[in-house]
């Protein structure tokens, strides 16, 4: 396989990109070029800090090396970030590098990433999706046919517990269920903002609304709380978008802290880690539903490794990732193109709207 001759990184920012950490600390684009001119692309996170990790530490560990032993690269790069960030920003940055190496691996073999992950994968393949919404269900989603996940974790309120807060949550679930009808899947996402008492009270009160799961009800660090939920909560608990590496997922799996695992391939450590998480979850008979799975970076794994494929709607502002298939009538089609099948405008690495190194 060809030798790596360049590693570039930039931070594309679009006009509709949200004015929070998802932009400032998010979405960096990595390009890894091989000596034959093939370029692999990946999206990671960490913003300018992530770019600095790549440029000052990871890049030097890849230049002039064979592009192929991707898992070996992951091993060396993850050791390199150990002293300053085996989780968080550095792992988000490494994720982008790993995905770019997987894209390169696919392109060099003239196969999609899905075909590399599973030679028997069916392509094209229609994958069902669900739509994540904030505040309430917009009319176009109410008329659609997909599942809906309602965000109940934000909203600017500082009082995120107590009877009035639980009342307001129940009311919003009731409204959402009314908007989408009784047969479509409905789930909620608390984004780590509730406490144990709120979650248990909420789960009892919404029993008749048939929720598929409650996502990240508690802060990540409250493993005792999650353990209690795993025993007492009647609604399945989902989570994992803020957990880094397969190693850290192992505890969640072993202790059955979540029923549904939701790694984000652009943060968790890339495809190399997502593959391990799928294998371990499969062994433990737990379901994997990757965070923003409809984006091409996860979609290949969902198509290739998942016997109950379901993809979450992606980030609409990341429209600089060309080649991303649209969700039509509730399903998304995995394209049959080498690598991840993304198309990237090289001008992003030079544009004035882009921060770059
Ligand atoms: Mg979430």
Distance 52 CA to ligand 1 centre (A): 27
Residue 154: predicted pLDDT: 57
> What is the model's pLDDT at position 136?
87
Residue 15: its pLDDT value, please?
84
Q: Which residue has the higher pLDDT, 342 or 354?
A: 342
CA of 36 to the centre of ligand 1 (A): 40
Torsional sign, CA 265, 269, 270, 275: negative
207 Cα: distance to centroid of ligand 1 (angstroms): 21
pLDDT at 213: 98
CB 28 within 8 A of CB 11: yes
Cα of 238 from ligand 1 centre, angstroms: 9
Rounded mean pLDDT of 247-272? 98
HSE-CB for 45 with a 13 A CA cutoff: 21
- Cα-to-centroid distance, 189 and ligand 1 (Å): 6
Q: Ligand 1 center to residue 291 CA distance, Å?
A: 7
Distances (CA, A) of 58 to 2, 73, 299, 333: 18, 10, 26, 34
What fold is seen in the domain 116-334? Answer: TIM Barrel (3.20.20)
Q: Binning pLDDT at 50, 70 and 90, where does residue 14 land?
A: confident
Using the mean position of ligand 1's atoms as its centre, give its distance from the Cα of residue 239 in Å. Answer: 7
- The Å distance, Cα 131 to ligand 1 centre, comes to 12
Q: Return the domain boundaries, the chain.
A: 4-110+345-356, 116-334
User: Which of 241, 289, 292 has its CA nearest to residue 267?
Assistant: 241
Q: Report the DSSP beta bridge partners of residue 8.
A: 31
State the distance from the centre of ligand 1 to the C-alpha of 155, rounded, in angstroms.
14
State mean pLDDT over 77-104: 97
CA of 142 to the centre of ligand 1 (A): 20
Low-confidence winner among 203-207, 272-276, 351-355 (lowest mean pLDDT): 351-355
* pLDDT at residue 357, as a whole number: 61
**Residue corresponding to tokens 């049959």:** 336
CA 68 to chain centre: 24
Residue 53 has φ and ψ, to the nearest 5°, of: -60, -45
Residue 45 alpha carbon to ligand 1 centre in Å? 16
Rounded to the nearest 5 percent, the helix, strand and coil shares of the chain are: 40, 20, 40
For 115, the token pair is 């075909």
Question: Residue 162 has what pLDDT?
Answer: 84
Tell me: the pLDDT tens digits for 311-337?
A: 999 998 999 999 999 999 999 999 999
Structure tokens at 186: 């409905």
CA of 356 to the centre of ligand 1 (A): 28
Q: How far is the CA of 312 from the centre of ligand 1 (A)?
A: 10
Cα separation, 75 vs 269, in Å, equals 11
pLDDT in tens, 194-237: 999 999 999 999 999 999 999 999 999 999 999 999 999 999 99
Q: How far is the CA of 73 from the centre of ligand 1 (A)?
A: 29
What's the CA-to-centroid distance between 143 and ligand 1, angstroms?
Answer: 23
> How many A from CA of 120 to the centre of ligand 1?
31
For helices 89-109 and 271-283, angle between their N-to-C axes, nearest 10 degrees: 90
* Tens-digit pLDDT profile for residues 277-300: 999 999 999 999 999 999 999 999
Q: Which residues lie below 8 Å from residue 356, measured CB to CB, with a gap of 6+?
A: 8, 9, 10, 11, 51, 349, 350
Distance CA 188, CA 157 (A): 17
For the chain, percent of residues with pLDDT exceeding 90? 87
Ligand 1 centre to CA of 261 (Å) is 11
Going by CATH, does the domain composed of 4-110+345-356 fall within 3.30.390.10?
A: yes
Give residues whose Cβ lies within 5 Å of ion ligand 1: 189, 215
Identify the sign of the CA torsion 290, 17, 21, 32.
positive
């Amino acid at each position: 396989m060809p030798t790596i001759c360049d590693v570039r990184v930039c931070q594309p920012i679009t006009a509709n990109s949200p004015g929070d950490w998802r932009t400032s600390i998010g979405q960096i684009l990595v390009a890894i070029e091989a000596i034959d001119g093939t370029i692999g692309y990946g999206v990671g996170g960490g913003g300018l800090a992530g770019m600095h990790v790549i440029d000052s530490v990871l890049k030097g560990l890849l230049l002039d090396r064979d592009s192929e032993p991707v898992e070996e690269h992951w091993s060396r790069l993850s050791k390199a970030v150990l002293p300053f960030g085996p989780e968080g920003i550095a792992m988000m940055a490494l994720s982008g590098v790993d995905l770019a190496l997987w894209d390169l691996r696919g392109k060099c073999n003239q196969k999609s990433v899905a075909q590399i992950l599973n030679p028997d994968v069916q392509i094209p393949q229609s994958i069902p999706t669900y739509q994540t919404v904030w505040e309430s269900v917009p009319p176009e989603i109410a008329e659609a046919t997909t599942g809906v996940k309602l965000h109940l974790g934000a909203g600017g309120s500082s009082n995120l517990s107590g009877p009035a807060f639980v009342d307001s949550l129940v009311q919003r679930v009731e409204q959402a269920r009314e908007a989408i009808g009784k047969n479509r899947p409905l789930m909620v996402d608390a984004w780590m903002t509730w406490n144990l008492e709120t979650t248990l009270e909420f789960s009892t009160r919404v029993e008749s609304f048939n929720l598929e799961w409650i996502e990240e009800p508690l802060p990540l660090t409250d493993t005792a709380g999650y353990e209690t939920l795993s025993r007492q909560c009647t609604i399945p608990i989902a989570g994992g978008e803020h957990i880094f590496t397969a190693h850290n997922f192992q505890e969640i799996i072993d202790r059955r802290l979540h029923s549904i695992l939701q790694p984000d391939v652009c943060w968790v450590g890339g495809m190399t880690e997502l593959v391990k998480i799928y294998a371990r979850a499969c062994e433990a008979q737990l379901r994997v539903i990757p965070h923003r799975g409809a984006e091409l970076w996860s979609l290949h794994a969902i198509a290739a490794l998942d016997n109950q494929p379901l993809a979450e709607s992606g980030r609409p502002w990341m429209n600089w990732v060309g080649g991303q298939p649209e969700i039509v009538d509730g399903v998304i089609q995995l394209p049959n193109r080498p690598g991840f099948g993304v198309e990237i405008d090289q001008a992003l690495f030079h544009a004035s709207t882009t921060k770059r190194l």
